[in-house]
Chain A
Amino acid sequence: QVQLQVSGPGLVKPSETLSLTCTVSGDSTSSYYWSWIRQPPGKGLEWLGYIFYTGTTNINPSLRSRLTISIDTSKNQFSLKLNSVTSADTAVYYCARTTLVNLFDSWGQGTLVTVSA
C-alpha cells in the first residue's frame, strides 16, 4: 500500500521560499503523476500542480510564476518550492498520488506551513 510523507519547515518568513518534500513508500515515483494540494485553515482544497517521473509538470496557472515542482526518482521523492510567500500561503500542504482514473487516490498526512515573521 502506497504511503506518502510530507516533510519540511513549519514556519517560513514572508518573501522567503517555502520548500517541502514528499517521500513515497510502497510505490515507485517512476509511475503515475504526483501532486501537491493545499488547504488554508478553515478553507477548501486548492490543487497546486503535478509532476510526472519524466519531469514534466503542470502548474496551477495562479501560481505558475512562483511554484516549482521537481522529482528525484532515485530517492522516490518529489518536492515543491514556492517563492515570495505571503500570509495567503499559510496552509496545510498535502502530497498525493495522481492517476487519470482516480485523480488523487492516495494522500500524505499533510503538514501545516505558517508564513509569519
Chain B
Amino acid sequence: QSVLTQAPSASGTPGQRVTISCSGSSSNIGNNYVYWYQQLPGTAPQLLIYRNDQRPSGVPDRFSGSKSGTSASLAISGLRSEDEADYYCAAWDDSVTGPVVFGGGTKLTVL
C-alpha cells in the first residue's frame, strides 16, 4: 500500500488532454515538493516534473504539474502514442514513513 494515492489507470485518445492525480497528506505533499516520473515499458523511470511544476530540460511543455493542498496533478496535453507509460508521483515526507514516498503509479493508455 503506497503512501501517496494514485488511480491505477487512465486513458485518452491522441490529441486529448489527460490528468493524473496524486493524493497525500500534510506530512508529504502538503508541506513538501511533488515530483513526477515517467516509466516507459521496460525502462527505468525518468524525471518528468520537479518541485511541483518545473520541467527538466528536454521535457516537452505538453507536460505540466500542479499542486493544491495535499494533492497534486500531472497534465498531459496533445496526447501522443509515445506517452503511453506508467506515471509515478513522489514527495519528501516528514513523518516516520519518510523521508521519500511514492504513489502506486498510474498506467496511461493511449487509445
Q: In the complex the two chains form, what is the Cα distance from A101 to B33 in whole Å? A: 9
Measured between C-beta atoms, what is the minimum distance from A59 to chain B in Å? Answer: 10
Q: Is the CB of A107 within 8 A of B44?
A: yes
Report the contact-size class of chain A (Cβ under 8 Å from the partner): 10 to 19
- Residues of A near B97 (CB, < 8 A) are 61
Query: Known contacts being A61-B96, A103-B100, A109-B44, is A44 close to B35, with CB within 8 Å?
Result: no
Q: Does A47 touch B at the CB level, under 8 Å?
A: yes
B50 A103 Cβ-Cβ under 8 A: yes
Specify which chain B residues have a CB less than 8 angstroms from the CB of A109 in the assembled complex. 44
Q: Is the CB of A108 within 8 A of B101?
A: no
Contact of B90 among A94, A104, A110 (CB under 8 A): A104
Q: Does B88 contact A (CB under 8 A)?
A: yes
Instruction: Render A76-102 as a binary contact track against B, CB cut-off 8 A, 1 for contact.
Output: 000000000000000000100000011
Minimal Cβ-Cβ distance residue in A for B47: A105
Q: How far is A20 from B47 in the complex, measured between Cα atoms in Å?
A: 23
Minimum C-beta distance from A36 to chain B (A) = 11
Bound state CA distance, A48 and B33, in angstroms? Answer: 19
B16 interface hit (Cβ, 8 Å): no
Interface pair A108/B102, CB less than 8 Å apart: no
Which residue, A44, A50, A101, A107, has most C-beta atoms of chain B within 10 A?
A44
Given contacts A47-B102, A61-B97, contact A110 B50 (CB under 8 A): no
> 25 A-B contacts, Cβ less than 8 Å apart?
A35-B100, A44-B2, A44-B102, A44-B104, A44-B105, A45-B88, A45-B90, A45-B105, A47-B90, A94-B45, A101-B50, A101-B51, A102-B35, A102-B47, A102-B50, A103-B33, A103-B50, A103-B90, A103-B92, A104-B90, A105-B47, A105-B50, A107-B44, A108-B44, A109-B44
